[in-house]
């Protein structure tokens, strides 16, 4: 999401018909991040009252993110990515302006209504059946993140993402994200290039190597596969994954199918 376009678009919204700006911090389908802090500044520069809503589903606990400091009104997250749990928990961080807007809102809603949750949460309860099992898991996940230290967690993911990109280039393939400042630390989307079939690579990886790679979505279907490197992952898990991609590329006839693991190991050899 381009902050300049945000500012221009909001500045042109003279009658304030735009109520909210919704941004995905880390776009799971492309491996491209958005610069939330600068987008916030763009909204402010436009002097526009739109709320800033941010989806951090695939970034939270894998990349630095700051709800308060960056002036976000609503942050949405969930359990099954960087928090290393099964799906089943969603999280909302709410600012004062968002709460006020929710009070005024006219959309019919029930389960998604923050007011029932806030009322029950006040004394530690839930208005509906909570997934208690996941709350125990969350306690442990947070303990693991604290033990490693968030800064170290983020650095680990940056290092793994860079090793992955080195592998992609060595395979003669292209990282979908073209702006290094917007690289994702959670996942890397890989363009297979002319003559390659990303879905064939994925099929070989799954059937032959028991390795599940993400598919290209929408107009990227068949042209892109995605390598996830978020959550509880260490150097050798990443290395094994990249070995699987290299073998799958070779067998599917996409890219060179060689040298990527070596390049990744070269990066991992450093600190």
**Minimum CB separation from a second copy for residue 262, in Å?**
6
**Minimum CB separation from a second copy for residue 128, in Å?**
9
Which tokens in the block code for residue 268?
A: 């991992």
**Minimum CB separation from a second copy for residue 217, in Å?**
11
Q: Which is nearer to a second copy, 5 or 87 (CB)?
A: 87
Half-sphere exposure of 7 (CA within 13 A, CB side): 12
Q: Which is nearer to a second copy, 5 or 19 (CB)?
A: 19
Q: How many CB atoms lie within 10 A of CB 123?
A: 6
Q: Which is nearer to a second copy, 74 or 78 (CB)?
A: 78
Q: Which is nearer to a second copy, 31 or 257 (CB)?
A: 257
**Minimum CB separation from a second copy for residue 107, in Å?**
5
**Minimum CB separation from a second copy for residue 97, in Å?**
21
**Minimum CB separation from a second copy for residue 258, in Å?**
8
d(CA 112, CA 118): 11
Q: Which is nearer to a second copy, 182 or 251 (CB)?
A: 251
**Minimum CB separation from a second copy for residue 63, in Å?**
19
Q: Which is nearer to a second copy, 46 or 247 (CB)?
A: 247
Q: Note the residues at the interface with a second copy (CB under 8 A).
A: 78, 80, 86-88, 107-108, 111-112, 129-134, 209-211, 234-237, 239-241, 243-244, 246-247, 250-251, 258-259, 261-262, 265, 268-269
SS (H, E, C) the chain: CCHHHHHHHHHCCCCCCCCEEEEECEECCCCEECCHHHHHHHHHHCCCCCEEEEECCCCECCECCCCCCCCCCEEEEECCCCCCCCCCCEEEEECHHHHHHHHHCCCCCCCCCHHHHHHHHCCCCCCCCCCHHHHHHHHHHHHHHHHHCHHHHHHHHHHHHHHHHHHHHHCCCEECCCCHHHECCCEEEEECCCCCCHHHHHHHHHHHHCCCCEECCHHHCCCEEEEECCCCCCHHHHHHHHHHHHHHHHHHCCCCCCCHHHHHHHHHHCC
Q: Which is nearer to a second copy, 46 or 116 (CB)?
A: 116
């Amino acid at each position: 999401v381009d902050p300049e376009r945000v500012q221009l678009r909001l500045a042109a919204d003279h009658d304030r018909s735009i109520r909210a700006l919704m941004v995905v911090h880390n776009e799971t389908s492309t491996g491209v991040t958005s610069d939330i802090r600068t987008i916030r500044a763009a909204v402010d520069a436009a002097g526009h009252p739109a709320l800033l809503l941010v989806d951090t589903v695939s970034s939270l606990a894998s990349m630095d993110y700051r709800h308060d400091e960056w002036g976000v009104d609503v942050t949405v997250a969930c359990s099954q990515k960087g928090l290393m749990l099964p799906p089943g928990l969603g999280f909302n961080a709410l600012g004062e302006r968002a709460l006020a807007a929710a009070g005024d809102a006219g959309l019919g809603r029930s389960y998604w209504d923050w007011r029932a949750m806030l009322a029950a949460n006040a004394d530690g309860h839930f208005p509906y059946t909570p997934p208690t099992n996941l709350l125990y898991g969350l306690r442990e996940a947070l303990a693991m993140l604290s033990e490693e230290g968030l800064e170290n967690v983020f650095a680990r993911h940056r290092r793994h993402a860079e090793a992955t990109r080195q592998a992609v280039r060595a395979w003669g393939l292209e990282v979908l994200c073209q702006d290094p400042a917007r690289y994702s630390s959670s996942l890397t989307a890989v363009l297979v290039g002319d003559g390659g079939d990303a879905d064939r690579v994925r099929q070989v990886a799954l059937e032959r190597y028991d390795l599940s790679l993400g598919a290209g979505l929408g107009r990227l279907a068949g042209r892109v596969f995605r390598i996830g490197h978020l959550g509880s992952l260490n150097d050798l898990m990443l290395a094994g994954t990249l070995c699987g991609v290299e073998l799958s590329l070779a067998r599917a006839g996409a890219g060179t199918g060689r040298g990527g693991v070596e390049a990744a190991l070269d990066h991992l050899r450093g600190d």
